[in-house]
Amino acid sequence: MDLDILIILGIAGFLAGFIDSIAGGGGLISLPALFAVGLPPQIALGTNKLQGTFGVLTAAFNFIRKGKVDLKECIPGVISTFVGAMTGALLIQFLNPEIIARIIPFLLLMVLIYTFFTKNLGVTESTPRMPRHLFFLLFGLALGFYDGFFGPGTGSFWTAALIILLGLNMTRAIGITKVMNSTSNVVALGVFVAGDSVNYLAGVVMAIGQVIGSRLGSGLAIKKGVTIIRPLFMLVVFCTILRLFYVNYFS
């Protein structure tokens, strides 16, 4: 790859990491950038997982280091997410994800509407609506499977579920989301590496941008909290919905 293309990918990685660490949806920037430089779809997807994994790991570490996430409480979710993601990543080799792809935009639309009309959602902690261990078991398996099988919007579903069902504020919800995303990303990346579907030069360059962007973005999210996370979260969900509707119904 030429130097100018690598610079563009590095900038795309930085922007994707910055946005993703605050509200998710970094793939809306990074994946189109990889397609734009001419990588084949499977290679672009694998390379995107490589660079994205560095981003979510950086953000997760920063949230943990700042005391916004207790890693011990995430262990049941990490285990369930690992199992779900592995299952989904293996099944996608044999099944067509088209049906799931057509349903997801409508589910995300429900998340967006609920978040918009529930003004205090995620502002403060509230009473959990289900036991923590049961939540992590069910959602770890389900969302881990979904991320391994298809992927777009996984972070939005995690964040919304953590806020609505566990009563967490948005800062803690985003932090735990990054821990879960890290787990499913590592599993999916392993599948792409095994299938020789990664451009390592592009992935490493973007990963450098991801690490820097994720570090700055997660720091801003921790500092500003819901005042920056909520509007950006809704914007990311809205853009994800538009992209999925376009890809699945109009392209």
For 14-61, what is each residue's pLDDT tens digit? Answer: 999 999 999 998 988 998 999 999 998 889 988 999 999 999 999 999
Residue 232 has pLDDT above 70, yes or no: yes
Please give the residue range of the domain that contains residue 196: 3-250
Question: What is the average per-residue pLDDT within 63-78?
Answer: 93
Instruction: Give the Cα separation of 118 and 140 in Å (integer).
Output: 25
Give the whole-angstrom CA distance, residue 61 versus residue 247: 33
Chain centre distance of CA 218: 13
Distance CA(232)–CA(11), nearest Å, equals 20
Structure tokens at 70: 């207790």
The token pair at 227 is 């005042």
Burial 154-185 (b: 16+ CB within 10 A, else e): bbbbbbbbbbbbbbbbbbbbbbbbbbbbbbbb
Asked whether residue 198 carries a pLDDT value surpassing 90, the answer given is yes
Rounded Cα distance between 249 and 88, Å, is: 23
Residue 106, Cβ neighbours under 10 Å: how many?
11
Q: How far apart are CA 91 and CA 118, in angstroms?
A: 36
Residue 82 has pLDDT above 90, yes or no: yes
Above 80 in pLDDT, residue 109?
A: yes
* Alpha helices, DSSP H, located in 92-225: 98-117, 132-149, 154-166, 170-194, 200-224
Q: How many domains does the chain have?
A: 1
Report whether 51 contacts 110 (CB < 8 A): no
pLDDT over 80 (residue 95): no
> What pLDDT sits at residue 99?
78
| pTM, full prediction | 0.91
Residue 123 CB neighbours (<10 A): 15
Q: Please give the Cα distance from 46 to 43 (Å, whole number).
A: 5
- Return contacts of 4-11, CB within 8 angstroms, 24+ apart: 5/37, 6/201, 6/202, 6/205, 8/33, 8/37, 9/33, 9/34, 9/37, 9/202, 9/205, 9/206, 9/209, 10/205, 10/206, 10/208, 10/209, 11/209
Q: Which of 120-124, 137-141, 172-176, 182-186 has the lowest mean pLDDT?
A: 120-124
Looking at 95-99, 146-150, 171-175, 211-215, which range is the least confident one?
95-99
pLDDT of residue 92: 74
Question: By the 8 A CB rule, do 192 and 174 touch?
Answer: no
Q: Quote the CA–CA distance of 80 and 70 in Å, as a whole number.
A: 17
Q: What pLDDT score does 93 carry?
A: 66
